[in-house]
Amino acid sequence: MSESAAAFPIELTVNGHRRAIEVAVHHTLLDVLRDDLGLTGAKECCLVGECGACTVILDGRTVDSCLVLAVEADGSEITTVEGLADDRGLSPLQQAFLDKGAVQCGFCIPGQLLSAHALLADNPHPSLPEIQEGLAGNLCRCGCYRQITDAVLATAERAER
Amino acid sequence: MHTFAYARPTLLAEAVALLEAHGPDARLLAGGTDLVIRLRDGTARPGVVIDIKRIAEMRPSIREEAGCLVIGAGTVMTDIAADERVRRSYPALAEAAAVVGSVQIRNRATLAGNVCNASPAADTAPALLVHAARVVAVGPAGTRRIPIDGFFVRSGVTTLARGEIVTAIELPLPDRAMGAVHVRRTRRRGHDLASVTLCCGVDATGVTRIAYGSVGPRPVLAVDESGVLADPTAPGAAKEAIFERLFADASPSPRSMRASPDYRLAMLRVLGARALRIAIDRLAQA
């Protein structure tokens, strides 16, 4: 069938910036973030909600953006990995990923960071099993799970109790 | 992904009218964790996708109403797993909701969607069967309440009529103490579909309800009213005979990639015995 579906106007707040755009109804939030808004941090990979490479935070909760139609996100606030750092530099979580050597090829890291960011926002001092469950939806083919969980633990330890 | 018309009704009546007008050419969109995959791989090619999330009656909610805990159709697994009333009165449902997919999936996937997708492996189905849930469906002829055991037909097929939309799942408030638990077997820890998913509930009158999925075309409910399973002092041989009867409807497919029929049938018995022990312990503590 035709790819030129009727454009549907939506409004998103992406990393704090209000965006009014027109999207095709059969395009996913991942398609729109990458192709229409130029935010390529979220990655396209399994496209069935198993790998987590496309993870973004939608209204405070992580989602697989490959399984969300862009029109469904109309009116939502979205955080992508591009929104984690600020003018002063990397977030403590991002710095911990570097310090612990958690980044090998880097493909899964935006998703890992956002899942870890959402986990720590909910539960600032998670146990190791809580971290493993919290990140179970993010696969790393380089096998850096140990370093990734170390980075999350280190960030949690530095957070105020 | 092929294109489709996208409808975003705000009134339930509009959604019912759309569904009735388009019949099988329309698909309802709740969390999308099943539907968007099928839209992309082409196994679903609807002409119209009806997003139910802007309908007031579908908003996420868990509320007590007329002797039931009512879980609105838009309620996601994350909120069900965390809800104090669900955890207190229906712990097996909270446990099942907590293991569906990953965090990202649970943040989108709805209980109503899990039920309507009618996967034989749906983790919430056994808990809903044990707790005698009812599916509330609104259609052109009005509202009807379908006992969950009469809802599932086979994968992707339910007893919903044309034009009917599930608006909520109702759980009768327990009139007696029950110990219940959800257990499952997966190939790996974390994010995986169940090779066997099972729930057991034992109530204060000695009735044991066991429901299991991923071992046949639909989830199965089996009930022991003899009191033998619930009796910790009953001889093992007597219990085994009853388990064999309760598991008689298991018929795992030889074509499934996740596990062989022999493995599933063996694990069904292991999980059944394990869940029974936990349910009896929980009842004693209740």
B71 touching A (Cβ < 8 Å): no
Tens-digit pLDDT profile for residues A108-128 = 999 999 999 999 999 999 999
What's the CATH code of the domain at B229?
3.30.390.50
Query: Kind of pairing, strands A61-64 and B5-7?
Result: unpaired
Q: Could you list the residue range(s) of the whole structural domain that residue B27 is in?
A: 5-51
Low-confidence ranges of chain B (pLDDT < 50): none
Q: Which helix (H) or strand (E) holds A148?
A: helix A145-158
- pTM for the whole structure: 0.96
Q: Residue A137: which of B251, B206, B99 has the closest Cα?
A: B99
Sorted by where each starts, the structural domains of chain A and their CATH numbers stand as 7-83 (3.10.20.30), 92-158 (1.10.150.120)
Q: In this complex, which of A8, A26, A67 lies closest to B37 when CB atoms are compared? A: A67
CA–CA separation, B175 and B261 (whole Å):
38
pLDDT at A161: 74
* Strands of the sheet with A61-64, listed across from one edge: A17-24, A7-14, A77-79, A55-58, A61-64
Check whether residue B135 and residue B69 sit in a common domain: yes
B108 touching A (Cβ < 8 Å): yes
B87 touching A (Cβ < 8 Å): no
Q: What is the ipTM of this complex?
A: 0.96
* Mutation to test the B interface, candidates A10, A11, A23, A26, most B Cβ within 10 Å: A26
Band (A14; pLDDT cuts 50, 70, 90) = very high
The residue among B139, B172, B205 that closes a domain is B172
What's the CATH code of the domain at B147?
3.30.465.10
Opening angle at CA B127, ends B123 and B133, nearest 5: 120
Cα distances from A122 to residues B228, B269, B277, in angstroms, run 44, 38, 34
Q: Do A25 and B3 touch (CB under 8 A)?
A: yes
Interface of A with B (CB under 8 A): 1-6, 8, 24-28, 47-50, 52, 55, 61-64, 66-69, 71-72, 115, 118-119, 132-134, 136-138
Q: Do A69 and B101 touch (CB under 8 A)?
A: no
CA–CA separation, B167 and B137 (whole Å):
6
Band (A3; pLDDT cuts 50, 70, 90) = very low
Which residues pair with residue B222 across a beta bridge? B210
